[in-house]
């Protein structure tokens, strides 16, 4: 069923919601610096990655460099990002989106709800993963990359109109902050990892069936 853009819309973050890719991307961060990291540096990289969900990877890499304070790590940001992408591409090609997530997306489509992605991951990376899993057609549009999530919400509103009922689903503090900045109802998804550092002031879903029910109820 083709989504009706006059009806409610569901907007999703990508990593940690549609795909369980957090550890895949942590591995890419650890290997992007060109030298083996110490155990302490690996632990620091993990903390930064998991505590700063929803922000561009170049920002995370710079935070890691600032934390490491290592003279052994040399290179330009372009070099780090290129190594990150090589490791990531190899792992993401085999990433399979699970049946529970597929069922959630199909249910929303059946209800005529328009589905969007708003992520910090690059658009082409997201689309390739969705296409490899035969799910790209479930989404009206995919927004990602370096653009801030609030600005991506504005782009979605330009398509659907400002007054269409909507909800955003994310897995990190930044996602919740972005939703609040644009006064969009937010649902926390913690089915893969609970990355939130603040007490929940909104709905929290632990499974995809639970998330599906929350979305449909919110958009009634």
Below-50 pLDDT ranges, the chain: 1
Res 4: pLDDT: 56
- Nearest by Cα to 50 from 15, 87, 96: 15
Cα 102 from chain centre: 16
Res 146: pLDDT: 78
| 173 within 8 A of 155, measured Cβ to Cβ | no
| 22 within 8 A of 15, measured Cβ to Cβ | yes
- Residue 87, helix vs strand vs coil: helix
Res 62: pLDDT: 96
CATH 3.30.230.70 fits 9-20+97-218, yes or no: no
């Amino acid at each position: 069923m083709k989504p009706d853009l006059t009806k409610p819309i569901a907007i999703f973050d990508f990593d940690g919601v549609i795909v369980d890719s957090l550890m895949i991307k942590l591995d890419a961060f650890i290997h992007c610096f060109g030298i083996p990291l110490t155990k302490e540096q690996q632990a620091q990289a993990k903390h930064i990655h998991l505590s700063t969900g929803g922000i561009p990877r170049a920002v995370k890499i710079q935070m890691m460099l600032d934390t490491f304070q290592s003279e052994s790590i040399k290179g330009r940001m372009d070099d780090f990002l290129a190594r990150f992408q090589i490791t990531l591409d190899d792992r993401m090609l085999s990433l399979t989106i699970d049946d529970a997530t597929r069922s959630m997306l199909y249910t929303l489509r059946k209800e005529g709800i328009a589905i969007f992605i708003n992520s910090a991951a690059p658009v082409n990376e997201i689309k390739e993963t969705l296409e490899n899993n035969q799910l790209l057609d479930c989404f009206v549009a995919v927004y990602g990359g370096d653009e801030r999530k609030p600005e991506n919400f504005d782009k979605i509103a330009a398509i659907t109109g400002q007054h269409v009922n909507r909800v955003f689903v994310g897995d990190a503090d930044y996602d919740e902050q972005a939703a609040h900045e644009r006064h969009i109802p937010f649902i926390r998804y913690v089915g893969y990892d609970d990355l939130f550092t603040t007490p929940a002031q909104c709905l929290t879903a632990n499974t995809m069936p639970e998330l599906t029910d929350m979305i449909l109820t919110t958009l009634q």
